[in-house]
Structure 1
Amino acid sequence: MREDRRPTLSDVATRAGVSKSLVSLVMRAEPGASAETRRRVLEAAEELGYHPDSRARLLRSGRTRLLGVLFDIQAQFHADLVTDLYTAARESGYELALSAVTPDRDEPEAIAGLLQDRCEALILVGPQSPVAQLSRLAERLPVVVVARGVRDPAIDVVRNADADGLHMAVDHLTGLGHRRIIHIDGGRAAGAADRRRGYREAMHRHRLDDLARILPGGLTEQDGAEAARQLLTGLPSAVTVFNDRCATGVLDVLTRAGVEVPAEVSVVGYDDDRLARLAHIDLTTIAQDTATMSRLAVEKAIERAEHAPAGRRERVVPPRLVIRGTTVPPAPLS
């Protein structure tokens, strides 16, 4: 056998001195071979460096057991979700095919890559595509949307209770004594509208409507920095921010301007991504339960791919407040 050629089933059979069909039985862990034969076959496979091509076998059976995952490579929260999606898929006997949205690769191109991989279902994390486009995609194969609400009876949704998260943030800040609380929003990003709504509802419940104010923000540190520069003209006592990444931009501008966080301004983010947990950031935030969301998304995708009863289309996962070092009671008025 040439050194540059991958060993085959026939090579293992020759080395072990058995038939190709017996090697196949052993590699599939099926009955029909004696313990001695199994030992010889497995030893021969190890000596040759043979590994069964499970993907090829699945393709021949018409299955791939592949779940396609679309995510934004620049979003830390998406990376956290993908980590948990791998765990959930592995526990279910499935593999993931990843396709990232990047500054040079838009969402349609990333989805097209997953379709070429013959995925059995798609899990789309925070997609920006219009509902009509997602609906057309769902006509081709099962689609599960994560971290965004989609009103379409053909699409499964696993999302965070975004409005409840802002209720928690505002309740935490008012409990500390804050009243002048501003929200920096996420624009048209998935979940942004519900978080704006949650902020307004909480401010209304605390009878702070006259002090409610929403500044345009976005997904990135740059968006947060731009919003924070507007804050400098009239500092509130506290800020809730669309996500942790945007909040780090807010923290950076405030710190560079000599504004002490949290002594002068308290800040609450959203997501509890890895940035928020860094010691020098130590951000109070609203945590999304990525492990539960990932498990539910994988379950939904597999149920649809295997045509099993899947129950209700939308699953809403509650968030939780994580208190760290960026929130304290407001400074007393001088």
Structure 2
Amino acid sequence: MTFRRTAGLVLAAALLAACALASLAVGAAMLPLDVVWAALTANDGSASHVTVSEARVGRTLLGITVGAALGVSGALIQALTRNPLADPGILGVNAGAGFAVALAVAFFGVTRISEYLPFAFLGAIAATVAVYLVAGGVRGTPTPVRLTLVGVALGAVLMGISRTLALLNAETFDRMRFWSAGTIADRPPGTLEAILPFILVGLVLAALCATPLNAVALGDDLARTVGARLGWARAGVVLSVTLLCGAATAASGVIAFVGLMMPHSVRWITGPDWRWILAYSALLAPALVLASDVVGRLVLMPAELQVSIVTALLGAPMLILLVRRTRATAL
């Protein structure tokens, strides 16, 4: 079993590398792989080399970073709630980010995407903290059911207010739609550098939570029996999800289905061990994001389709398959 999982992890890394190469080569200007390699190793300033180094490299790295964050945060939230159909938005992270951006545009005159980043990230953090406190974080350990119910309710309220602001102020909607489209294209310079520290911390926290999550999956009583500290484990998961999903949403907008689809899919390979699920999700989720981005460049060439639309088109059938599956892999 360990050999199979390790071999699968190597194949997942190879698939991610292949998707990254495709992301560097495919676009309005189709470039051979030797040109891509030359642009990376011996850039001569030609148009094709500049296209790779200044446009596609940053886009590809952002896709890898955002995809890993969404995949790992999706796996964490599924483990925390013991619900294989949960996604990171269940804690209100996406709604909090969108609400903060709507306020920034409507009341502070924010106009540029680069200015959205701090507001979106702070909104994501504030929403998650509110969900945790309302669900019982001060009085005791919030249960998965409480976290889910409070997160869904608060997310619905924040999303409703955001849409109301957009309807009342057409300019607000016009400015927000470019950020909320869910894309890794045309992000402002410095976007990756701004979110990378938060995502790295979130990934480290996720790795530390992996072993306790195996105990949490047994249920609260059995987890306590084997010595798991449920309060610390859940707090670590919530913090990790906030950092990962908040930073990813701030940078790219809402990219749906990645955090839902990939962790559940890799469980068919890994079984219920969360250490392997997190590792696979960190590799295959960015591969999905990059592959979707490449497809989006091809279907409307020379125009592009946002990556969030492609992941939704891929994720909806997958969700139907998961719902109809009679023998879902247990958490």
Same-fold call, TM > 0.5? no
The structure whose residues are more often helix, as a share, is: 2
The normalised TM-score by structure 2 is: 0.30
The higher-RCO structure (CA 8 Å, 6+ apart) is 2
TM-score by length of 1: 0.30
Identify the structure with the greater strand proportion: 1
